[in-house]
Amino acid sequence: MNIHEFGCGHVRNLVLIHGACMSWDMFEKTIVLLQESFHVYVPAIPGHDLTTGEEFTSLEAIAAKLEEELIRRGAEEIELLYGLSMGGGFVIRMLADNRLRIRHAVIDAGIAPYELPRICTRFILARDVLMTALGKYSRAALESAFPRARYGSSADRMWQVLQHMTMRSIRNVYDSTDNYAMPDVFPDIETKIEYWYGAREKKERKPDIAYVRKHIPGVVFRELAGMGHGEYAAAHAEELADDLTAVAAGNRRKQS
């Protein structure tokens, strides 16, 4: 797994994890701003890295590899761990693993595991794979869900990533991200955690919000006015950098 590093002279570590069918460099403009204050680590999640043929295996296995690599690089203490969508699922799992000392975490529209009978999860998996396949083979279908007018150049990058991803990776992404394993009891950690979601996706994130409320104590929730899924990170680089810097400073962003 490739992990890109920026601002290597800084002591405070910050990790950004991209969403499904997205690229690590969706954070490019945000990284330029954050690297002035943080040592920024940005993994290219397997299956999404245009420079390798790695497949996406499972969220649990990739999270463990990411943890091991951060520890190997001396980044076992994280000032802020941020993940978008699938990346938010990585944040949830990494907090549960409790292998890193994470001071602050932001789960941005993060996907939590379904608490549903298996037959229901199979239907959901089939639906999600079908919808993503439509986006993989039809630019018009992709742009109907992620219009360039709202998502900027990130919409173009999503198209490139989808052309690179195999159907096996796409299936594994949805199967694992929707159903990854979690402990029965969330560990007692001191991390200050926020869950963000766009106002335009509130209905879709309802099960994820309910899971987080139920299983992870002390989370602050923030609604991003006017935003769709992933839109804030994709098209509002300066605002995202400002917010993450504020969260890392201990200024928790409550619902807006």
- Residue 254: inside a domain: no
Cα separation, 2 vs 118, in Å, equals 33
Amino acid present at 5: E
What average pLDDT does the segment 152-177 reach?
A: 96
Task: Centre a 10 Å sphere on the Cβ of residue 18 and count the other Cβ atoms it contains.
Answer: 29
Residue 232 three-state SS: helix
Residue 222 three-state SS: strand
Cα separation, 177 vs 110, in Å, equals 10
- Residue 253: inside a domain: no
CB 111 within 8 A of CB 88: yes
> For every residue of 132-157, which 3-state class applies, written as one string?
HHHHHHCHHHHHHHCCHHHHCHHHHH
Classify residue 2 as exposed, middle or buried by CB count within 10 Å of its CB (0-12, 13-18, 19+): middle
| Residue whose token pair is 């900027």 | 152
- Residue 76: inside a domain: yes
The region of weakest confidence among 105-114, 147-156, 180-189, 190-199 is 147-156
pLDDT tier, 252 (very low <50, low <70, confident <90, very high otherwise): low
Residue 233 three-state SS: helix
- The pLDDT of residue 106 is 98
| Residue whose token pair is 């219009």 | 147
Is the pLDDT confidence value at 51 over 50? Answer: yes
CB 208 within 8 A of CB 83: no
Domain that holds residue 130: 3-248
pLDDT tier, 44 (very low <50, low <70, confident <90, very high otherwise): very high
Cα separation, 24 vs 208, in Å, equals 23
CB 107 within 8 A of CB 193: yes
Is the pLDDT confidence value at 180 over 50? Answer: yes
The DSSP symbol for 199 reads G
- Residue 255: inside a domain: no
- The pLDDT of residue 39 is 98
- Residue 241: inside a domain: yes
- The pLDDT of residue 41 is 98
Torsion of CA 211, 116, 175, 102, to 10 degrees: 20
In sequence order, which residues have a C-beta less than 8 Å from that of residue 104 and are 6 or more positions away?
Answer: 79, 80, 81, 191, 192, 193, 194, 247, 248, 250
- Residue 71: inside a domain: yes
| Residue whose token pair is 């910050």 | 14
pLDDT tier, 256 (very low <50, low <70, confident <90, very high otherwise): very low
Cα separation, 69 vs 62, in Å, equals 10
- Residue 14: inside a domain: yes
User: What is the count of structural domains for the chain?
Assistant: 1
CATH number of the domain that 121 lies in?
3.40.50.1820
Cα separation, 154 vs 134, in Å, equals 18
- Residue 230: inside a domain: yes
